[in-house]
Amino acid sequence: RFRIRNSNTQTRVWDLSNPLSPLAMQLTATADGVQFTGDCSVLREYIAFNNSSLLVPQAAARIDNQNLHGSPVADYIIITAPALLGQANRLAQYHQQRDQLRSVVVTSEQVFNEFSSGIADPVAIRDFVKMFYDRAGGDSTKMPRYLLLFGDGSFDYKKRITGNTNLVPVFESGESLAPLETYTSDDFFGFLGDGDNINNPGTYLLDIGIGRIPAATEAQARAIVDKILSYTSPKAYGPWRTDLSFVADDEDNNLHLEDAETIAAAVGTGNRDFNLDKIYLDAFSQESGSGGSRYPQVNLAIINKTYNGNLIWNYTGHGGSRRLADEVILDQDIINS
């Protein structure tokens, strides 16, 4: 028999010896509290508390009812942010009318609510797309064909940093803290087979075509959609659609040049309608200045090809988010000029 002093009618006692099956104990009043009986032949764990001390859940936000699991068969899946939803729907409607693509447009928040209990998690996006893949059951007429991630992303997909640009998360490699080994990739969302291993991506092929429009604002999204619609209009047709440019970095025992040659040969073989233009840094004169070595003729060639138009512009070599090549053959200043 156990007695609890200084208790009252609000006091409760639970037997938590089995935390998966708590048991409320029967209490009887005493002159100075309550008492209950329990089995003392084995070690037991009890907890006593008053109802008045219980935490009360607070409403954080209103979540509208949704049913992404009830989505129809889709050729074209767009995942976007609420602020860009209007432009995403505009693009989906265009492709539905022009290309007869069955489209589904959702926000990343909706995906998180239904596939990761409201937690921002890139895996939820992959699981959402995989749902369509699994339902198709190998039927090519029901298989999803295209995934568009409509919105910018960042390393901070949990939005912990003020001023974050993350709208639609990206996948981050396991070596996310190693500068030379880390990377972000949207390929993760396209490995939909049950046995696919993202840790060994070179072994598998993507099960869906993936693209991203890295718009951060509604104005940027509108401008990009305007360009897409303009690109497919008859007035945009011209000889530039047959021009392919391949740019290769210098040095490294011709590694980048050979890679560019391999890609160009693969594209050009059997496609005589294409005009291949090769801008290889080793074929140009390098000039030295106060800012380091530069290839001014390469800068000019890239600018001219961009203004004249290219169906494909491909670069192999060193670079980063701010410039291409140590000799700065392309950077934000050149683009803005």
pLDDT digits (tens, 9 = 90+) for 9-23: 889 999 999 999 999
Beta bridge partners of 35: 3, 28
- pLDDT value of position 314: 96
Q: What is the pTM of this model?
A: 0.75
What value does the mean pLDDT take over residues 304-313? 92
pLDDT digits (tens, 9 = 90+) for 226-238: 999 999 888 888 9
The pLDDT-based confidence of 318 (bands split at 50, 70, 90) is very high
Q: Is 163 left (phi over 0), alpha (psi -120 to 50) or beta?
A: left
The residue among 102 and 307 whose pLDDT is bigger is 102
Q: CB under 8 Å to 128, separation ≥6 — which residues?
A: 68, 79, 106, 111, 114, 115
What value does the mean pLDDT take over residues 94-112? 97
What value does the mean pLDDT take over residues 247-276? 92
What value does the mean pLDDT take over residues 132-157? 96
- pLDDT value of position 59: 86
- pLDDT value of position 35: 92
What value does the mean pLDDT take over residues 121-131? 97
Determine how many CB atoms are found less than 10 A away from the CB of residue 188: 20
Percent of the chain with pLDDT over 90: 70
The pLDDT-based confidence of 201 (bands split at 50, 70, 90) is low
**Can you name the CATH fold of 68-230?**
Rossmann fold (3.40.50)
- pLDDT value of position 155: 84
The pLDDT-based confidence of 130 (bands split at 50, 70, 90) is very high
The residue among 53 and 260 whose pLDDT is bigger is 260
Beta strands 76-80 and 146-150 are parallel
What value does the mean pLDDT take over residues 272-280? 93
Domain ranges within the chain, ordered by starting residue = 2-53, 68-230, 238-336
pLDDT digits (tens, 9 = 90+) for 54-63: 888 888 888 8
